[in-house]
Amino acid sequence: MTLSQKQQARLSLLPLLLFVALFLGTGLYLQSQGVDYAFYQLPGPVAIIPALVLAIWLYKAPLAESIEVLVKGAGNSNIITMCIIYLLAGAFATVAQATGGVDAVVNAGLSLVPAQFLLPGLFVISAIVATAMGTSMGTIGALAPIAVGLSSQAQLEPTLVAGVLLSGAIFGDNLSIISDTTIASTRTQGAQMKDKFKENLKIALPAALVTLALFAFLAQSHAEVRVQDFSWTGVLPYAAILFLAVAGMNVFAVLLLGIVLAALQGAVLADYQLTNLGKDIYKGFGSMQEIFLLSMLVGALGEFVKQQGGLQYLSSHVTAWALKLKLAGNKAQQLAIAALAFVSNLCIANNTVAIVVTGDVSKDIAQHHQIPPKRSASLLDVFACIAQGLVPYGAQALLLGASFGISPWDVVTHSYYCLILAVFATARILVEKIDRSDF
């Protein structure tokens, strides 16, 4: 990079910092002042507008060209995929609620699982479904309506329940062999999926067991839970969806089928009027308006950062910082790969894109310092997923915030698995010695 390019790259990060300062700073300040719903006083889609204006100004190109960059980022295939999932998840939740399916599943769960085991149970279910589906978003979309009802009936903190779902979803997204993050990390590093899975499991499983114990402790409650009358037929749509998800059906097909099954169950076995289906679906779409818009605009902001070399600038500085550490072997280089994935994802809030963007640099580091492909692929996936579970402007936190009616900040501050995973993953880098025969 020339001096002017480095300056441009540094400046390209300012809009992101402005957005974070406005979005989080305003919410945290108002919360400290005791304002109700502090994080809703300045909605995310509004907070990001000044950042986009600054990004366009810093881009220093004709306005038409800047608009093209904005549209390219907002229309990224990963962003549009998430937005469609938002819509389908919102429609499914609304139709399931209207047909009585949510109440049936909640009361069925309460009749089978003691209140003190609901949190660890939800974590395990979320982890299994996410591993089978290969998507944390699809998992959250399918399970959030159930979890919202359970938290109310069992008198559990909604923020804690949302953190449980996010924790399990990130666990599965990180491990699944059909996840986008797995595919991206193995392809960019030239690793085998089964080898990367085994490498990840050595970190993720111990972290999950500690998280499970933590949730079991936090769930200790003596509140009396009253199970209301319910019909087991209302559980059928959810049972079918979870079975198909575990069987590996595409998330779009799962959510569409869920809408259809919930409506049919309500019409045939309850008193739901199919004439209301269209309005309920549209109502569900509307409930996802805020996160739909914010996801597209975050994608646009990330594109400006990428176009102006902001991510490349971060990569070079993070790598240089890691190499200054006085660590034996190639531990510093492993930390560099981990930091690249983590920091990049903080900037663009999309773990798959962060892996793709940093893949080539990470592969070059790995090859020059005898880090096996399976290890570099594992580090990329693990730390990108950790960051994804900790950014309040990430898709998962936004969807859970909308589903539970809470701040995305409250969601990520209860994402305990991601924090525990970060500790285990970093410790493994610092303690374990790589077997050179694996290279």
pLDDT digit string, tens, across residues 87-118: 887 788 788 878 877 667 666 766 676 667 78
DSSP notation for 249-314: --HHHHHHHHHHHHHHHHHHHS---GGGHHHHHHHHHHHTHHHHHHHHHHHHHHHHHHHTTHHHHH
| Residue 267, pLDDT score | 87
Which parts of the chain sit beneath pLDDT 70? Answer: 1-3, 36-40, 82, 102-103, 105-107, 109-111, 113-115, 132-134, 178, 220-230, 242, 245-246, 248, 251, 291, 311, 315, 319, 322-323, 326-329, 348, 357, 434-439
Q: Which residues in 390-419 are b (16+ Cβ under 10 Å) and which e?
A: bbbbbbbbbbbbbbbebbbbbbbebbbbbb
Give kind and range of the element (H or E) at residue 260: helix 251-269
Q: What are the tens digits of pLDDT across the range 40-60? A: 678 878 888 999 999 999 988
- Cα dihedral sign, 386-428-207-127: positive
Predicted confidence at residue 91, as pLDDT, reads: 86
Residue of 333, 315, 314 lying closest to 324 (CA atoms): 333
Beta strands in 298-394 (DSSP E): none
How confident is the model at residue 115, as a pLDDT? 66
Hey, what are 221's tokens? 């409650």
Cα–Cα distance, 398 to 321 (Å, whole number): 32
* CA dihedral for 53, 56, 57, 62, sign (positive or negative): negative
Q: What single-letter DSSP state applies at residue 316?
A: H
pLDDT value at residue 387: 92
